Chains A and B, each alone.
Chain A
Amino acid sequence: MMKDEDIIPIEEPRLTAWDLLYLPQVLQGLKVTLRHLFRKKVTVQYPEQRRDLRVANYRGVHRLNRDEQGRVACVACFMCETACPAHCIHIEGAEAPWPDREKYPVKFDIDELRCIYCGMCEEACPVDAIELTTEFSFVGCTREEMIFDKEKLLEVFDQTRDIKPRKNPPITGYPDVGGPIPRVEDSNANTVEHKENHL
C-alpha cells in the first residue's frame, strides 16, 4: 500500500514572461540542431563497414566441437536439450563406436530460428561440446535451411576454429571477423577464472 510520505507533489514550474515568449527557447533549440547538422556522423555503412563487437562473448550461431582426433565431442547426454528454454535442440543418441565414451549423437539438430541465443546449452554441456560463436550474419531462404544438423554444426566449428579455439573457456578475448575486440576487463577475467576453478 502506498503511504502518504511516498507521494511527492510536484508543481508545474511557473513560466516567466521571457519563457512565455517561446522564441528564445526555440532559437536555442535551433542552435543545437544546427550544430548537429554539421557534426561528424556516427553511421556505420553496414555491409561494407562492420563495427567491432561490443562484447567479446557475443552469442551467435552454435557449433559442435570436435575433439583432438576430429570426432564429435558430444556425448549425447541431453543436458543441453533439457536446459534449452526454447526447445530448439533435438538429439538422438546411440552407443558410441569409440571406447572412451558410452554414447554419441547420431542426430543433432538445432532450429536456429527458434533459438533465443541465451547460451544455456553452452553452460549445461559437461564436455564443452556445444558452443556459441560470434557469427551473427547467417541466413537461409527457407525455414528448413535454418535447422542446422550435426554436419552443419561441425562445419561451423571447422570454420571458426581459428577465431575461437575449442574449450578452455576464455569465452572472451577472441577476435571477431569484423576487427579487434575490446580488451576484456580484469573483473570479467577473474570471474572466468573462478568459473574454471570451480569446474
Chain B
Amino acid sequence: MKEFFTTQFGFSLLLMVVLIGMILTAVAYCILLERKISAWVQDRVGPNRAGPYGLLQPIADGVKFLLKEDIISANVDKALFLLAPGLAFTVAMIGFAVIPWAGTVRLGDSVVAVQVASVDIGLLYILAVGSLSVYGIVLGGWSSNNKFSFHGSMRAAAQMLSYEIPMGLSILVVVMTCGQLRLEDIVAGEAGQMGTTWNVLLHPAAFVILLVTVFAESNRLPFDLAEAEQELIGGYQTEYSSMKMAFFYLGEYVHMITASAFVAVLFLGGWELFPFSDRLGWAWLQWLNHDESIWAMLCRFMVMSGKVGSFIFFFMWIRWTLPRFRFDQLMRLAWRGLVPIGLGLVVMTGFCVYAGQPATPWAPVGDVVIVAMVLLWTVLMKPRATGRQSHLPPVLLDVT
C-alpha cells in the first residue's frame, strides 16, 4: 500500500483528495474573507457573531444554504437547469489538475511531481477548461427561462469571447519566451534555467493583460456584467436558490483560486520565493528551490499558496474598489486596448525569439513602447461616439 502512494499515480490520487479538501475549505473561507474585506473597506466590522471573529460563519452559511427551500420554477428546462450549477462548479474544479504546486518530491526510490496530472499541454488544458466555464453560466441563464437571466448569460458569452483573445495573446508571449507548454517547465524556466527570469519582469504589460482578462473570465468586478445585481437582479443565477446557487458561488471562488494559481505559475515564478534566487547561491534558497525532501516540498507549497492567497486578496481588494464597467466600455477595453497591445507584444517577442534572445533585458522596454504606441493611436483617433450625438435630432422634453 505504501509503495502504491510512492508511484506517480498513487501520489496523484492522494494529492487530488488533499487538494479537493483544501480548496473547498479555502473557498468557504474565501467567502468569509470577501465579506470581511468588503466590510473593512466600508469601515464596518463584518460578520463577527458566529464563533470568534466570525470564523464559524462558513459553516453557518453552508447550513443555511442546505436548509433553504430549493425552488425550481415551473417553466424551466429542468435538465439543463439542474446541470448548469454542477457544470459551473466542476469545470472550475478540474482546472486544478495541471497546476504544479511544489516541483518534485522524492518518496522512497521514486521521484514524483507534486501535481495531479503532469501533462505536456498543461497550458492548453487550462485554456480549454477555462473556456468551458462559460457553459455553466450560459446554460444557467438560458434554462431559467427568464429574460434577465438570459441577458446575463448573453453578456457572459460575449465577454468571455472577447477576453479570451487578449488572454491567449498574453499567454502566447509566455509560451514564446519559455518555449514550453508544460507548466512545471515554465516555472523551472522562470527559476532561471535558460537565462530567463520571472515573466512579470520580462513582460509586465502581458502580465497586466492576463490579470485583467482573468478578472473578466472569472466574472468578478469590475467585469461582473453577467451578474450585475443592480441591473439584472443577479443575472444568470436569479432563478437559483439553495444549494444550487451555492454551487455557482463555489464555482466562482474556485475559478478565482485556479486563475490565481495560473497567473502565479505563468508570471510569478510558481514556487520560487523571489526572482534571481538561484543566482544568489545561498544554501537555504538552493534547498528551497531544488531539494526533493518532503519538507522542502511543503515549503515550496507554502510559497505557492502564499502567492495564490495574495492574488485572492488582490481580487477582493479590486472588487471593492472599482465600479462595474459598462458593456460598451468592456468591449472597447478588450478590442481597442488589450488586443492591440497583446498583438504588439506577440510580434515583439517573435523578434526577440528570432534574434535568439527570448529573455533579453530590453523586453520590458519594448513592452512600454508598445503600450505607449497603442495609447497614442487611441488618443489620435476621433473622439469616441458615446452619449448624445450632435448630428442626431434633438430630444424635446416637454416638462410643464
Contacts and interface: CB of A to CB of B under 8 A. Distances in A.
Interface in A34-60: 34, 36-43, 45
B400 A41 contact: no
Contact of A1 (B37, B44, B400): B400
Contacts of A38: 40
A16 interface: yes
Given A2-B397, A29-B321, A12 B379 contact: no
Interface string A104-145: 000000000000000000000000000000000000000000
A57 B373 CA distance: 65
| Residue among B320, B321, B387 with max Cβ neighbours from chain A (10 Å) | B321
B397 A30 contact: no
Interface residues of A, number: 25
Given A37-B41, A41-B43, A12 B376 contact: no
A39 B42 CA distance: 9
B43 A20 contact: no
B75 interface: no
A22 to B, nearest CB: 8
Interface in B37-61: 37, 40-45
B94 interface: no
B378 interface: yes
A15 to B, nearest CB: 8
Contact of A2 (B40, B317, B318, B399): B399
A88 B322 CA distance: 47
A32 interface: yes
A38 B371 CA distance: 34
Interface string B363-385: 00000000100011011000100
B386 interface: yes
Interface in B181-233: 208
A32 B208 contact: no
A33 B399 CA distance: 41
A23 interface: yes
A40 B44 CA distance: 9
Contacts of A37: 37, 40-41, 317
B387 to A, nearest CB: 5
B364 to A, nearest CB: 15
B109 interface: no
A23 B208 contact: yes
Contacts of B378: 17, 20
Contacts of A2: 397-399
Contacts of B45: 41, 43, 45
A23 B387 CA distance: 24
A30 B321 CA distance: 6
A30 B387 CA distance: 28
Do most interface residues of chain A lie in helix, strand or loop, or is the interface mixed?
loop
A32 B320 CA distance: 11
Given A26-B322, A30-B318, A33-B321, A21 B375 contact: yes
B200 to A, nearest CB: 15
A20 B317 contact: no
Contacts of A198: none
Nearest to A15: B379
A183 interface: no
Contacts of B317: 30, 33-34, 37
A14 interface: yes
Interface in B313-330: 317-318, 320-322
A33 B398 CA distance: 43
B383 A14 contact: yes
B379 A17 contact: yes
A42 B320 CA distance: 18
A70 to B, nearest CB: 44
A41 B318 contact: no
Contacts of A42: 43-44
Given A1-B399, A2-B399, A33 B320 contact: yes
Contacts of A41: 40, 43-45
B21 to A, nearest CB: 30
B379 A26 contact: no
A32 B321 contact: yes
Contact of A26 (B37, B41, B42, B321): B321
Nearest to B212: A22
Nearest to A18: B375
Contacts of A1: 398-400
Closest 3 CB pairs of A and B: A43-B45, A33-B321, A29-B321
Interface of B: 37, 40-45, 208, 317-318, 320-322, 333, 371, 375-376, 378-379, 383, 386-387, 397-400
27 contacts: A1-B398, A12-B387, A16-B379, A17-B376, A17-B378, A17-B379, A20-B375, A20-B378, A21-B375, A23-B208, A26-B321, A26-B322, A29-B321, A30-B318, A32-B321, A33-B317, A33-B320, A37-B41, A37-B317, A38-B40, A39-B43, A40-B43, A41-B40, A41-B43, A41-B44, A41-B45, A45-B45
Given A17-B375, A17-B379, A33-B317, 4 more contacts: A17-B378, A30-B318, A32-B321, A41-B43
